[in-house]
Amino acid sequence: MRNIAKWRCQLTEYDIEYVPRTSIKGQAIADHLTEFAIEDDTPINSDFPNEGILQMDEKEDGTAWKMYFDGVVNSTGSGIGTVLISPDGRYYPIAAKVDFPYTNNVAEYEACILGLQAAIDFKVKDLEVFGDSMLTIFQILGQWKTKNAKLVPYHEYLEELAENFEKISLTYTPRIKNQFADSLATLASTVSIKKENLIEPLEIEIAKGPTYYDTIESTDEQPWYEDIKLFLQTS
């Protein structure tokens, strides 16, 4: 962008006009429509010949599970998180605190493997996997080569796990759409967990009002905190 601005300033002394590429595309469409203009009363052919169809997407049968994964490495610790979503919308969060040193890329592989192992335990056969690590997703898909010696064993093990599914797909998703798995990984990396402790999955509910709502009777001519005071005294 710096060079374009400099060139544009240098071209001002000549009879040359700089036009952004997006404007050129828009003008090309306008010129095409002008050249092949049709009359207002021209009938529109509503026929849709099926011989031109190469592929039609089948309607989803709603039997596929979804899995989101993420790994976190920071100054407080390391953690991985994954969440499985059943076809009926039930969430199964899983997180682990990693107690050995590793890189961000290894963390992503660890998180993905954790989710696949959980899906196998659930006897899932149709799985859609989503992750915000472009490197991990494209390496698993085979579009990028796995050259790092530390990642090769992970890649081979992932291929073995993938054979347990009848249908599995992997898709890159932005981090903004992977917040649940990211939060689980961050939580696992920051909390202090002993080896003998097992923390069950959390139940997250939506609170639509104060906790004391509809549990006490309102009184007239009392200070605004009277209902809270009464609730604390009687609870």
Tell me the pLDDT tens digit for each residue of 168-190: 999 988 888 888 888 888 888 88
The 3-state secondary structure of 36-104, one letter per residue: CCCCCCCCCCCCCCHHHCCCCCCCCCCCCEEEEEEEEEECCEEEEEEEEECCCCCEEEEEEECCCCCCH
pLDDT above 80 for 38: no
Q: Which residue has the higher pLDDT, 210 or 196?
A: 210
* CA pair distance 232, 235, nearest whole angstrom: 5
User: For residue 64, which of 91, 94, 88, 92 has the smallest C-alpha distance?
Assistant: 88
Domain boundaries, the chain: 2-35, 65-190
CA distance 126 to 65: 6
- Rounded Cα distance between 108 and 131, Å, is 8
Q: What is the largest CA-CA distance in the chain?
A: 85
Identify the pLDDT of residue 76. Answer: 76
Rounded Cα distance, 141 and 82, in Å = 19
Q: How confident is the model at residue 105 (pLDDT cuts 50, 70, 90)?
A: confident
Which of 86-90, 157-161, 170-174, 213-217 comes out lowest in average pLDDT? 213-217
Tokens 């472009």 -> residue: 134
Superfamily of domain 65-190: Ribonuclease H-like superfamily/Ribonuclease H (3.30.420.10)
DSSP notation for 216-234: S---SS--TTHHHHHHHHH
Contact, 82 vs 184, CB < 8 A? yes
* Tokens read off for 177: 């759409």
Q: What is the mean pLDDT of the chain?
A: 78
Pairing of strands 91-97, 77-85: antiparallel
Q: pLDDT tens digit string along 128-157?
A: 999 988 888 888 887 777 777 888 888 889
More confident residue, 171 or 28: 171
